[in-house]
Structure 1
Amino acid sequence: MWLSESQTLGNVLFLVGVLLIIGPQKTYIFFTRPNKRRGSFFLVLGVLLILSKWTFIGFLIESLGIIGLFGDFFGVAVQFLRSLPIVGPILSHPAVAPVVDRLAGIRVLPV
């Protein structure tokens, strides 16, 4: 019960945060782009399932929606994390970097 309530509050705060950061018109445009519609659908479906007390299934479907909506930003986030003092050297390590690049969808050009 507690997980469902905190998950619901997190969803509401996330959507309000996006709305406040980029504004109502740009939020509408972002969520209704043709290449983002599937992610928007899964996000809304996941939120509705969580509100209907189907917490775990809703969380999984909502996660698919978040990946569909914000998957393009993972590469940017990884590049930012690589500029940080402690995390950067770990993510840039030759054994770790190819795995992180593949997961984030970063394309490395051959030298």
Structure 2
Amino acid sequence: MTFFDRALLALGNILFLLGIVLIIGPQKTYVFFSRPAKRRGSILFLLGIMMILMKWTFVGFIVEFVGIMGLFGDFFGIIVQFLRSLPLIGPILSHPAVAPVVDRLAGIHTLPV
């Protein structure tokens, strides 16, 4: 019921940005969000936050999600490789029927054998 609550989404966005600043520092955060390759993702992310604050919750959430994918899409390959090292999830993600689908979704390019 509260998944698209405007106040909770705004609070989550603020805490997300503060967490990034506290983890990597203000200067590196600015550099990360202002890179030319990440500029479209940054604009969409901030536009999504503004739309949420202006009560366009669902549309703002979608726009913000697209911005997050543009900003952090490079990390999905790293996340999948980490998940493959875990005991319960790893064998499922490494299964020959599942691995090509997961690799394609994460953007992992494997060489054919």
Smaller-chain TM-score bracket: over 0.9
- The residue number in structure 1 matching 2:80 is 78
* Residue identity opposite 2:38 in structure 1: K
Give the letter aligned to residue 42 of structure 2.
S
- Give, in whole Å, the separation in 1 of the partners of 2:87 and 2:21: 31
User: Kindly, what percent of the aligned residue pairs are identical?
Assistant: 69
Consecutive aligned runs of 4 or more in structure 1 exceeding 2 Å deviation: none
Cα RMSD, aligned residues only: 1.1
Once residues 6 and 94 of structure 1 are traced to their aligned partners in structure 2, the CA distance between those partners, rounded to angstroms, is 40
Cα drift, residue 13 of structure 1:
0.7
Counterpart position of 1:10: 12
Write out aligned runs for 1:8-87 (5 A): 8-87=10-89
Deviation at 1:81, TM superposition (A): 0.6
Residues of 2 paired with 1:91 and 1:55: CA distance? 34
User: How far did 1:98 drift?
Assistant: 0.4
Unmatched tracts of structure 2, length 5 or more? none
CA distance in 1, matches of 2:101, 2:79: 15
TM-score, length basis structure 2: 0.95
Residue identity matched to 1:16: L
Aligned equivalents of 1:99, 1:57: Cα separation in 2: 28
Q: Deviations over 1:5-29 (max 9, x none)?
A: 1111110111000000000000000
Q: Give unpaired runs (5+ residues) of structure 1.
A: none
